[in-house]
Amino acid sequence: KEAVSLGIPLTIDLRPVEFGGGWRSSIGQRRQGAWYVGGGLLHLVYRETSKFATVGENTDTTFNGAVIFAGADVRLWRFIVGGGEVQFRSVPNALGDGGASLAFKETNLGGATARGLIGVRF
């Protein structure tokens, strides 16, 4: 399938709120680092708006899903830490009823991400 632009501007707004918890464990005798794993619930507010939409064509709805994550960090210098994390979100059956999501058989608003971090820890 190929996407074809109709030239009609569409704004999609996703607002995720995560509630989670996990397990964290120190690495080494001097606690120079730590690893962690966790999971939780995801509440996602989904909005589609277009300035050309008629009454009832804009979308404003919410979906629930799940999140899992894992990461590690190490002390770089005094209070400065660096690390990384991977995360996977799943919001099943949130899409697929019409439009591009139906054409491309996309039904899940989740996905995977990786992030690096630099922080301060006391």
Q: What is the pLDDT of residues 49-71, one digit of tens each?
A: 888 777 877 888 899 999 999 99
Q: What is the model's pLDDT at position 122?
A: 80
Q: Is the pLDDT of residue 22 over 90?
A: yes
Distance in angstroms (rounded) separating the CA atoms of residues 26 and 21: 17
Sheet containing 33-49: which strands, arranged edge to edge? 11-27, 33-49, 59-77, 80-90, 111-120
The model carries a pTM of: 0.75
Query: What confidence tier does 87 reach under pLDDT thresholds 50, 70, 90?
Result: very high
User: Phi, psi (5° rounding) for residue 74?
Assistant: -135, 150
